[in-house]
Amino acid sequence: MQVKRKRILYSSLVITICFLLAYLLYFNNKPDGKFGAAASFLLLRYAGLWVGSAILICRILLLLRSNDALIYIATGVLNVLIAFIAIVLFFTNHMVIQVFHLFLVNLLIGSVIIFDCLFFKKIF
C-alpha cells in the first residue's frame, strides 16, 4: 500500500512540473498563447481520455493483473489533474460550461483508476 501512495505522489509531482514548465516556457511568452493553450489542453484531454480508457479496459479484461503499475497510476493521476485544472478554469470564468462538461469524463476515469489503486486488490 505504501508503494502505491509513493507512486501516486511521484506521478503527481512529475505531471504538475511538466504542466508548469510547459506553461512557463511556451504559453507565458506569447501574446496569442491563450488559443494555443486551449488547443493543447483539449488535445491533452483527449489523449488522457483515450489512454486512460484503454488502460482501464485492459485492467477490467485482466490483461493488466496488477494495479500498482506506474503507467496505470500515472494515467489516473493525469486524468484527475486535467479535470482539476478544468474545474479551476470553470470557476474562474475562463471556461464555458459546454466545454467543462467534456472534462467530467476525465474525472470519472481518473477517479476509478485511483480508487482501484488505493482500495482494491482485484477488480473481480
The pLDDT tens digits of the residues spanning 96-115 come to 888 888 899 999 999 999 89
Is 10 a residue whose pLDDT tops 90?
no
**Mean pLDDT value of segment 62-71:** 83
Is 38 a residue whose pLDDT tops 90?
no
Residue 81, SS3? Answer: helix
Q: How confident is the model at residue 12 (pLDDT cuts 50, 70, 90)?
A: confident
* Predicted local distance difference test score (pLDDT) of residue 37: 65
DSSP letters spanning 100-120: HHHHHHHHHHHHHHHHHHHH-
C-alpha cell at 8: 501516486
**Largest pairwise CA distance in the chain:** 51
Q: How confident is the model at residue 30 (pLDDT cuts 50, 70, 90)?
A: low
The dihedral built from the CA positions of residue 18, 39, 28 and 88, taken in this order, carries a sign that is negative
Cell 512557463 -> residue: 24
Q: How far from 90 is each of 2, 18, 84, CA to CA, in Å? A: 34, 22, 10
- pTM of structure: 0.80
**Mean pLDDT value of segment 31-40:** 65
Is 53 a residue whose pLDDT tops 90?
yes
Q: How confident is the model at residue 14 (pLDDT cuts 50, 70, 90)?
A: confident
Nearest-CA neighbor of 1 among 68, 64, 59, 56?
A: 68
